[in-house]
């Protein structure tokens, strides 16, 4: 028996973007044999997280996924859903509203900025670094600085230790901007892992005095001037079992019709302020248009070469519209909802 440190984490009631919250519960247990089923229900003061009124402030935390936390001896991270006192999902609990299907695979590419002293890490005080160009996948102090890669590497190890299906990292187009990718079979698994990876990133960056900026367009500016910097997306790559095994051009075109028809419903959950990012520039399609294109990074949905190979129209597609601050539960849920409107025969 040991004292296990369980970090219960949840999404708060802030809008338009939920924040992450966490608190520690100590339980007696055996770290080697500890499972999700061993995690008790817990609660918190919802009046401090915009999830309840002060006079009736209790919210419940229902454990839904467990991850080893290598930063703490005998530590675990417990992903939870917020419930009302009667045990029904809290209105802020988007996870509870989405269907789950292990046959649907999601790969999210999370972009973000490191921030320090109110500006992207590596930006000089009151000015700008050299224009975009050398930063994407860059190497060397001038391109990526020093602290950034230290944090990125520590985060990668923390995710792998946690059992998160982390797929890779790269420095992004803007200075101080990075990306990681996570792949999961099933909407809830993939989205849980994005939220836990965000949590780990925020927590690791604390000790370097660095913040994570998830806003999709922290730097505004006209195209091609020194103030012009890429925004941050969270591309959503998806495939159903049918798309991977059968597919076909007819089905693909019907699927794209459905995505076009529900354009507004998708945009509504693809993250706040997305009009600032989806401008038609910087490898985006504008927010009020829907398009798909083969290998086209200026389309709403990019169709990989591998998808159209041999005219098979089989595999996965990339929805490039979701942004870095979007809720992956809501994004995956909307993608599933639209897919379900299209008959497979």
Binding residues (CB under 6 A) for ligand ADP: these are 105-107, 109, 167, 181, 183, 235, 237-239, 315-316, 318
**Residue 46 partner contact from ligand ADP, Mn ion, none using kind-dependent CB cut-offs of 5 to 8 Å:** none
* Cβ-contact 307, 313 below 8 angstroms: yes
**Residue 154 partner contact from ligand ADP, Mn ion, none using kind-dependent CB cut-offs of 5 to 8 Å:** none
Count Cβ atoms within 10 A of the Cβ of residue 224 and give its class: 0-12 exposed, 13-18 middle, 19 or more buried: exposed
Q: How far is the CB of 188 from ligand ADP (least distance, A)?
A: 15
Q: Find the largest Cα–Cα distance for the chain.
A: 64
SS (H, E, C) 214-243: CCCCCCCCCCCCCCCCCCCEEEEEEECHHH
**Residue 239 partner contact from Mn ion, ligand ADP, none using kind-dependent CB cut-offs of 5 to 8 Å:** ligand ADP
Q: Which is nearer to ligand ADP, 210 or 234 (CB)?
A: 234
Nearest residue to Mn ion by CB is 235
Q: Which is nearer to ligand ADP, 120 or 315 (CB)?
A: 315
Q: How far is the CB of 243 from ligand ADP (least distance, A)?
A: 8
Q: Where do contacts with Mn ion occur on this chain (CB under 5 A)?
A: 109, 179, 235
Q: Which is nearer to Mn ion, 81 or 179 (CB)?
A: 179
Q: How far is the CB of 170 from ligand ADP (least distance, A)?
A: 7
**Residue 203 partner contact from ligand ADP, Mn ion, none using kind-dependent CB cut-offs of 5 to 8 Å:** none
Residue with tokens 């001896």: 73
**Residue 237 partner contact from Mn ion, ligand ADP, none using kind-dependent CB cut-offs of 5 to 8 Å:** ligand ADP
Q: How far is the CB of 58 from ligand ADP (least distance, A)?
A: 38
Q: Which is nearer to Mn ion, 69 or 179 (CB)?
A: 179
Q: Which residues on adjacent β-strands are paired with residue 43? A: 60
Q: Which is nearer to ligand ADP, 123 or 259 (CB)?
A: 259
**CA neighbor of 231 nearest in space, from 280, 289, 159:** 280
Query: Cα–Cα distance between 299 and 290 in angstroms, integer?
Result: 8
Q: Which is nearer to ligand ADP, 239 or 274 (CB)?
A: 239
Residue with tokens 């989205």: 191
Q: Which is nearer to Mn ion, 179 or 327 (CB)?
A: 179
Q: How far is the CB of 39 from ligand ADP (least distance, A)?
A: 28
Residue 167 burial (CB count, 10 A) = 14
Residue 11: partners with Cβ closer than 8 Å, 6 or more residues away: 18, 19, 20, 21, 82, 92, 93, 94, 195, 327
Nearest residue to ligand ADP by CB is 107
Q: How far is the CB of 55 from ligand ADP (least distance, A)?
A: 45
Q: How far is the CB of 240 from ligand ADP (least distance, A)?
A: 9
**Residue 93 partner contact from Mn ion, ligand ADP, none using kind-dependent CB cut-offs of 5 to 8 Å:** none
Q: Which is nearer to ligand ADP, 62 or 166 (CB)?
A: 166
Strands 292-294 and 301-303: parallel
Q: How far is the CB of 46 from Mn ion (least distance, A)?
A: 36
Q: What's the Cα-to-Cα distance from 310 to each of 134, 142, 297, 305, 307, rounded to whole Å?
A: 36, 44, 21, 10, 9
Catalogue the E-assigned strands of the chain: 2-11, 20-29, 42-45, 58-68, 75-83, 105-116, 119-120, 166-171, 177-185, 211-213, 234-239, 292-294, 301-303, 317-319
Q: Which is nearer to ligand ADP, 123 or 195 (CB)?
A: 195
**Residue 238 partner contact from Mn ion, ligand ADP, none using kind-dependent CB cut-offs of 5 to 8 Å:** ligand ADP
Q: Which residues on adjacent β-strands are paired with residue 95? A: none
Q: How far is the CB of 183 from ligand ADP (least distance, A)?
A: 3
């Amino acid at each position: 028996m040991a004292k296990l440190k369980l970090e219960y984490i949840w999404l708060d009631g802030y809008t338009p973007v939920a924040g992450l919250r966490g608190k520690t519960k100590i339980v007696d247990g055996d770290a080697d044999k500890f499972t999700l089923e061993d995690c008790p229900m817990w609660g918190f003061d919802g009046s401090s997280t915009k999830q309840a009124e002060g006079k009736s402030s209790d919210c419940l935390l229902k454990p839904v996924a467990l991850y080893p936390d290598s930063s703490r001896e005998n530590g675990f991270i417990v992903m939870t859903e917020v419930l009302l006192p009667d045990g029904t999902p809290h209105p802020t609990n988007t996870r509870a509203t989405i269907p789950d299907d292990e046959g649907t695979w999601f790969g999210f590419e999370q972009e973000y900025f490191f921030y320090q002293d109110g500006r992207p890490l590596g930006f000089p005080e009151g000015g700008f670094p050299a224009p975009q160009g050398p930063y994407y996948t860059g190497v060397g102090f001038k391109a990526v600085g020093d602290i950034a890669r230290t944090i990125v590497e520590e985060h990668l190890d923390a995710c792998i230790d946690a059992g998160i299906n982390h797929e890779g990292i790269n420095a992004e187009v803007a200075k101080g901007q990075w990306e990681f990718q996570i792949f999961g079979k099933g909407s809830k698994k993939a989205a849980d892992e994005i939220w836990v990876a965000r949590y780990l990133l925020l927590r690791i960056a604390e000790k370097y005095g660095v913040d994570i900026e998830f806003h999709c367009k922290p730097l505004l500016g006209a195209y091609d001037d020194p103030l012009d910097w890429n925004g941050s997306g969270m591309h959503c790559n998806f495939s159903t079992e049918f798309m991977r095994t059968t597919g076909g051009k007819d089905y693909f075109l019907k699927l794209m019709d459905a995505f076009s028809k529900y354009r507004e419903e998708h945009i509504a959950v693809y993250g706040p302020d997305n009009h600032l990012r989806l401008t038609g520039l910087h490898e985006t399609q504008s927010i009020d248009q829907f398009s798909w294109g083969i290998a086209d990074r200026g389309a709403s949905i990019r169709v990989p070469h591998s998808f159209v190979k041999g005219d098979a129209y089989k595999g996965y597609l990339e929805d490039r519209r979701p942004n870095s601050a979007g809720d992956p539960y809501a994004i995956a849920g909307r993608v599933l909802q639209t897919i379900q409107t299209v008959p497979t025969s």
